[in-house]
A and B are shown apart, each in its own frame.
Chain A
């Protein structure tokens, strides 16, 4: 199973300079390199943050519970600093991977700007969450919005990056074929996914007839048992075809508890 390279493919990395987003950039650059795609870096200056800082009573409560006065200058300084960090990270990744790369800074609604940029990209890589409270482990609002929009493949990278062990969910759809192929691309150590969870015997049969990758370990599961199997296997990166998303969308809330990188393949 291979992923054919479409000429002029675009991998978009939406970066807010948080550790998650920098890890996402790293994976995006690797994918762009293997897919011979263009790497587009993007930083959105959140218009809401700019507006908050302009309000006369604007204060921020730090993670230590201290109240800090906010000013427009202070906010712009922080946003500029993050933008500069993001730019240099994209530049470094592009240069290192010998990629065609670009970087842009836009101001506006984060959701809207990324969604708009995503519409022209084949793959979007984002951090699982941005500069949110580190004690929370839920998916960030942008990630959540991209999953729901379903316009392109989305790679949501947890802190620490895409890590082994890696697993792919296979439901027999064309989308899951692509997921299998992209998993091989994503897996830095080999051309095959480590574990393939085939949902139902039909999918397992199809997988068998299509030719199972040599080093892959195929486990046939029903969708009810899928979540607990994934949890027990200690998977750190999960490649999910968008067709399967509906099957355990309810269960995603549980998956969100884990420090798991998720690659949703359209």
Chain B
């Protein structure tokens, strides 16, 4: 049985292998290492032009996914052109559909200020123009001309009537004509006295006058319209003359931007068409506001101003946006409302940008889980990416839940590369259940949680530590502290040959070490501070471990650490409580009796055993049958129990332990209780690797150490796990001094021999084992049980043949 020497239990990082004394010597260093696959994928995804080549950065929490993604994107963004500013403006033809105005980056805000000044200037110019003597005089002439025209026609008609002896009188119902006698209307009696010819003549004249009057009245409407046209034309002429130079001045400043010129032209034609309305707007303010609070509140500004959604003036390249709260509205933008007189109103000034607006022309980084948690955020993101159009609409509109009139801003052409960051499970779920996902996110940047612990990577890891310490403004670390952190990283990886890449966790540990240095007023972080930080972490988390350990030490949970017992083995389990894992020894027992050839896993029977555990137990019966009873039936019933285990058991790491207990129970040979065993087993009796080997060793060591190390105590681990060993230093020390032992096991035969002190023996050609070996004892006992069962069956049959006595 190979016993492991102490060097095998802990792979030390030699501080002298690091090329610095303290981290202060390291000037600039990366904050992420060991992600070549992810970096390559990012490069591919970023450089490949295509709207559907978005990226999903998958990897475990804390490996620096976001940092690496943003770092990479920011570098890539620097060389890309600055995207356009995004604005919305009034649409004179349909105010409910604001127009999109995109301008070269940095132009929009200046234009907005120029337009604000322009509106003020226009208001002054128009007011002055319309108050001018010249305008008033021309208007007066027009109105006078209009008023005089119908009056003249009426007067002419009246005179014409009078000359024919007819009066035109205003009655409550309208104008009526009647024959006159002197200055008075002819009474009906006198009219009747006239001869028929006179009466007819009068009637004919009156009918003619009525027709003429009707003709005049019909013309009044036309004259009124003509007047309005003339006034409008005059207003247009005056307004155009007044504001033309003002607009031309701004126009000349933006002569190279056709969009601005179109916009200014539309402002001009709208104001020239409605100059009086402009003045009313300019002097008015939104209803419900008692006074004007600012220029921006003017109705004229609200109509003709510019709503700058995104000003890219401050950028030196393409934007890289991380949206921490990716709600629907924070992604696609929103349309706000103002409460006025109990009503909610909106206009294009209340359109607000979302992260997609800000990231347009660049990159948007999102946390996949957050996006999926927010109602409609994921759907809206996909819709925008698919259509390559960004439409700002309320959630109700997007879902067609409301039909009230609201704004429909012109959609923004979208060109953005989205990088989602999420854990692998989420990525695979999306691949499986969202048919659109694969089409939109064609690049997966797969982040590893571990990397090889090569000398080169150890150096890089040291530089990473320096970088993190500087980032968090912590003390410098000496190289022994760095070496200790590297060793701890291996321990976290559960592998002496690998390093854990959880940057977040590493960063936390450095800060905690700095805290320890604070307490001791140490100038730098040394190995001692790091160790205290690690111990502190363990202490804060190990209340349950201590409670369970006490239960064993006080014999509440029965656990022997010396002596021998048949059918009883010390197994090792690992408990994970939150982020803290610890080893817990457990007594495993086996009892056998003649039976139907089954091994009863009591854990499974009471539904405390998981499927992997059951699988391990079923392998045992296969192993037993094939190994020991190839020419007779396996006629035993064995029961296996994790003693005093009151919660579930999962995993097959105890299957070798259970097999040892079983072999001991069948053969009747006792097992050394000073040893604990871990390892899974296959059908051929080979011991296979398990997880949590370090915690398991430490769990048994702690019990033995508390009871007093005898020098005979130790742990059997699978040989395949030797490379994972990074056990605590006190364990290493005990092994070095011979007070504790760790053995590596490759086969069950090796293990049972060491546990019982009796060789297992090898089968000869006849299938038998040498006398006195474990193999022979097991085979003999199994055969005995099989024969007893056969004899018992025959007796039963004879009884049956004899019939009832």
A interface residues, Cβ below 8 angstroms from B: 46-49, 51-68, 70, 74-75, 78-79, 82, 109, 130-133, 135-138, 257
The chain B residue sitting closest to A74, CB to CB, is B173
List B contacts of A48 (CB < 8 A): 167, 169, 178, 184-185
| Segment of B209-217, B290-298, B501-509 in the binding face | B209-217
List 12 additional contacts besides A53-B171, A57-B206, A74-B173; criterion CB under 8 Å.
Answer: A51-B186, A51-B188, A55-B186, A55-B191, A58-B178, A59-B177, A61-B213, A70-B173, A109-B184, A133-B175, A135-B147, A135-B150
Bound CA–CA A78/B172 (angstroms): 7
Known contacts A62-B173, A74-B173, A257-B144; A52 and B178 CB within 8 A of each other: yes
Instruction: With both chains docked as a complex, state the minimum distance between the C-beta of A251 and any C-beta of chain B, in angstroms.
Output: 15
- 6 A-B contact pairs sorted by A residue (CB < 8 Å): A49-B172, A59-B210, A65-B213, A65-B217, A78-B171, A136-B151
Instruction: With both chains docked as a complex, state the minimum distance between the C-beta of A168 and any C-beta of chain B, in angstroms.
Output: 26
Q: Max chain B CB contacts within 10 Å: which of A70, A130, A131, A135?
A: A135
List B contacts of A137 (CB < 8 A): 147
Q: Is B262 an interface residue (CB 8 A)?
A: no
Instruction: With both chains docked as a complex, state the minimum distance between the C-beta of A145 and any C-beta of chain B, in angstroms.
Output: 11
For chain B, residues 146 to 202, give those with C-beta under 8 angstroms from any C-beta of chain A. Answer: 147, 150-151, 154, 167, 169-179, 183-188, 191
Instruction: With both chains docked as a complex, state the minimum distance between the C-beta of A255 and any C-beta of chain B, in angstroms.
Output: 14
A135 in complex: contacting residue of B170, B178, B220, CB < 8 Å: B220
B interface residues, Cβ below 8 angstroms from A: 144, 147, 150-151, 154, 167, 169-179, 183-188, 191, 203, 206-207, 210, 213-214, 217-218, 220
CB <8 Å contact, A55 and B214? no
Bound CA–CA A82/B185 (angstroms): 21
Bound CA–CA A76/B628 (angstroms): 134
CB <8 Å contact, B174 and A68? yes
Instruction: With both chains docked as a complex, state the minimum distance between the C-beta of B279 and any C-beta of chain A, in angstroms.
Output: 19
CB <8 Å contact, A67 and B214? yes
A132 in complex: contacting residue of B170, B183, B214, B217, CB < 8 Å: B170
Instruction: With both chains docked as a complex, state the minimum distance between the C-beta of A87 and any C-beta of chain B, in angstroms.
Output: 16
Bound CA–CA A47/B191 (angstroms): 16
A131 in complex: contacting residue of B167, B172, B179, B218, CB < 8 Å: B172
List B contacts of A64 (CB < 8 A): 217
The chain A residue sitting closest to B224, CB to CB, is A135
The chain B residue sitting closest to A52, CB to CB, is B178
List A contacts of B188 (CB < 8 A): 51, 54-56
List A contacts of B214 (CB < 8 A): 61, 65, 67
Bound CA–CA A78/B203 (angstroms): 25
Bound CA–CA A72/B176 (angstroms): 13
CB <8 Å contact, A51 and B171? no
CB <8 Å contact, B187 and A52? no
CB <8 Å contact, A138 and B217? no
Bound CA–CA A65/B219 (angstroms): 10
CB <8 Å contact, B218 and A65? yes
Known contacts A60-B175, A65-B218; A49 and B169 CB within 8 A of each other: yes
Bound CA–CA A150/B574 (angstroms): 123
Instruction: With both chains docked as a complex, state the minimum distance between the C-beta of A47 and any C-beta of chain B, in angstroms.
Output: 7
Q: Max chain B CB contacts within 10 Å: which of A51, A64, A132?
A: A51
CB <8 Å contact, B151 and A60? no
A52 in complex: contacting residue of B185, B210, B213, B220, CB < 8 Å: B185
In the A-B complex, the 9 residue pairs with the closest CB atoms: A60-B174, A65-B217, A54-B188, A62-B174, A78-B172, A60-B173, A51-B185, A48-B185, A52-B178
Bound CA–CA A74/B154 (angstroms): 25
Bound CA–CA A259/B210 (angstroms): 29
Bound CA–CA A49/B154 (angstroms): 19
Bound CA–CA A224/B214 (angstroms): 41
List A contacts of B176 (CB < 8 A): 49, 52, 58-61, 70
List B contacts of A61 (CB < 8 A): 174-176, 210, 213-214, 217
Bound CA–CA A194/B664 (angstroms): 127
Q: Max chain A CB contacts within 10 Å: which of B172, B175, B176, B207?
A: B172
CB <8 Å contact, B172 and A82? yes
Bound CA–CA A189/B217 (angstroms): 42
List B contacts of A131 (CB < 8 A): 170-172
The chain A residue sitting closest to B220, CB to CB, is A135
CB <8 Å contact, A70 and B171? yes
Instruction: With both chains docked as a complex, state the minimum distance between the C-beta of A124 and any C-beta of chain B, in angstroms.
Output: 21
Bound CA–CA A82/B172 (angstroms): 9
List B contacts of A135 (CB < 8 A): 147, 150-151, 220
Instruction: With both chains docked as a complex, state the minimum distance between the C-beta of B625 and any C-beta of chain A, in angstroms.
Output: 114
Bound CA–CA A51/B176 (angstroms): 11
CB <8 Å contact, B203 and A51? no
Bound CA–CA A56/B188 (angstroms): 8
Instruction: With both chains docked as a complex, state the minimum distance between the C-beta of B177 and any C-beta of chain A, in angstroms.
Output: 8
CB <8 Å contact, A52 and B170? no
Bound CA–CA A51/B179 (angstroms): 10
Q: Max chain A CB contacts within 10 Å: which of B173, B179, B186?
A: B173
Bound CA–CA A63/B171 (angstroms): 11
Bound CA–CA A70/B175 (angstroms): 11
List A contacts of B183 (CB < 8 A): 109
Bound CA–CA A56/B184 (angstroms): 17
List A contacts of B191 (CB < 8 A): 55-56
Instruction: With both chains docked as a complex, state the minimum distance between the C-beta of A193 and any C-beta of chain B, in angstroms.
Output: 26
Bound CA–CA A201/B433 (angstroms): 102
CB <8 Å contact, B169 and A52? yes
Known contacts A52-B178, A59-B210, A65-B218; A47 and B170 CB within 8 A of each other: no
List B contacts of A52 (CB < 8 A): 169, 171, 176, 178, 185
List B contacts of A65 (CB < 8 A): 213-214, 217-218
Instruction: With both chains docked as a complex, state the minimum distance between the C-beta of A167 and any C-beta of chain B, in angstroms.
Output: 20
Instruction: With both chains docked as a complex, state the minimum distance between the C-beta of B236 and any C-beta of chain A, in angstroms.
Output: 26
Q: Max chain A CB contacts within 10 Å: which of B147, B170, B184, B218?
A: B170
A63 in complex: contacting residue of B147, B174, B179, B203, CB < 8 Å: B174
A51 in complex: contacting residue of B173, B187, B213, CB < 8 Å: B187
CB <8 Å contact, A130 and B174? no
Bound CA–CA A82/B171 (angstroms): 12
Bound CA–CA A135/B144 (angstroms): 12
CB <8 Å contact, A133 and B154? yes
CB <8 Å contact, A67 and B210? yes
List B contacts of A67 (CB < 8 A): 210, 214
The chain A residue sitting closest to B214, CB to CB, is A65
List A contacts of B151 (CB < 8 A): 135-136, 138
The chain B residue sitting closest to A69, CB to CB, is B173
Instruction: With both chains docked as a complex, state the minimum distance between the C-beta of B399 and any C-beta of chain A, in angstroms.
Output: 51
Q: Max chain B CB contacts within 10 Å: which of A48, A56, A78, A138?
A: A48
CB <8 Å contact, B217 and A63? yes
CB <8 Å contact, A51 and B178? yes
Bound CA–CA A227/B151 (angstroms): 23
List B contacts of A79 (CB < 8 A): 172
Bound CA–CA A57/B144 (angstroms): 36
List B contacts of A49 (CB < 8 A): 169, 171-172, 176
List B contacts of A70 (CB < 8 A): 171, 173, 176
The chain B residue sitting closest to A78, CB to CB, is B172
Bound CA–CA A70/B169 (angstroms): 13
Instruction: With both chains docked as a complex, state the minimum distance between the C-beta of A9 and any C-beta of chain B, in angstroms.
Output: 32
Bound CA–CA A251/B522 (angstroms): 106
Known contacts A51-B178, A51-B187, A67-B214; A75 and B171 CB within 8 A of each other: yes
Instruction: With both chains docked as a complex, state the minimum distance between the C-beta of B214 and any C-beta of chain A, in angstroms.
Output: 5
The chain A residue sitting closest to B213, CB to CB, is A61
Q: Max chain A CB contacts within 10 Å: which of B150, B176, B218?
A: B176
The chain B residue sitting closest to A75, CB to CB, is B171
Bound CA–CA A58/B151 (angstroms): 24
Bound CA–CA A68/B173 (angstroms): 8
Bound CA–CA A83/B173 (angstroms): 16
Bound CA–CA A61/B161 (angstroms): 15
List A contacts of B175 (CB < 8 A): 60-61, 133
List A contacts of B144 (CB < 8 A): 257
List B contacts of A78 (CB < 8 A): 171-173
The chain A residue sitting closest to B204, CB to CB, is A57
Instruction: With both chains docked as a complex, state the minimum distance between the C-beta of B291 and any C-beta of chain A, in angstroms.
Output: 26
